[in-house]
Amino acid sequence: MSGKALGLAPARHGKATTLLYRLGFRGWSTLLKLAAIIAIEVVIVFGYVGHGAIDHYALHPMIAMASALPLFLLVRTLGFRLREELLISYFFLNFARFPDYLFEAGIEHQTWMNVFLLHLAFDEIIGWALVFLTVQVLVLGVAYVLMKLRDSRAQATSA
């Protein structure tokens, strides 16, 4: 079975490229996804700036990652591999941000909107929420990266 079939980086790449590959970077495919997300986010951030709500813009990615990372860790712990962490994380972000999209459409925030990853609850304690979520995302993010590296190293040595 070839290294490519096993999901291993091609031998011609250097150590840095191999590390990126082990972390999920897949060349042009990943770059195109990142470019699309960044272009969308540039438009969205200007909306938040226009409302003087840049702290809210910062809050929702933290909520999304604090929600997605435990799921990613659980899936890895159960022995499954994820391929589209970037797109899954972006889905979580837009799910958390959905009440703000409704607000832009003229619908005021309402209590039921907490179904979107506790959107309103976090808006009420935004300062503390940002601190807590930042620490949580850093700890879980490091744990997930280390788990991905460990799993890819174990897969490479078993091949």
66 or 7: whose pLDDT is higher? 66
Query: Side-chain half-sphere of 115: how many Cα atoms within 13 Å?
Result: 3
| Mean pLDDT across 56-76 | 93
Q: Given pLDDT bands bounded at 50, 70 and 90, which one contains residue 6?
A: very low
What pLDDT was estimated at residue 4?
47
On the question of pLDDT at 66 being above 70, the answer is yes
DSSP result, 23-71 = TT--THHHHHHHHHHHHHHHHHHHHHHHTT-HHHHHHHHHHHHHHHHHH
- Distance between first and last Cα of the chain: 9
Tell me the per-residue pLDDT of 31-46, one tens digit each, with 9 for 90 and over.
888 899 999 999 999 9
Average pLDDT, the chain: 85
At 101-130, the pLDDT tens digits run 999 999 999 999 999 999 999 989 998 999
The more confidently predicted of residues 9 and 15 is: 15
Please determine, for residue 71, whether its predicted confidence score (pLDDT) is greater than 80.
yes
Please answer whether residues 147 and 76 qualify as being in contact, where contact means their C-beta atoms are separated by less than 8 angstroms.
yes
pLDDT tier at 9, thresholds 50, 70, 90: very low
Domain parsing of the chain, residue ranges: 15-158
- Asked if pLDDT for residue 7 goes beyond 60, the answer is no
pTM: 0.78
**Is the pLDDT confidence value at 61 over 70?**
yes
Of the listed ranges 21-35, 46-60, 111-125, 140-154, the least confidently predicted one is: 21-35
Q: Which long-range contacts (CB under 8 A, 24 or more apart) does 136-142 make?
A: 136/66, 136/69, 137/62, 137/65, 137/66, 137/69, 140/65, 140/66, 140/69, 140/70, 140/73, 141/65, 141/69
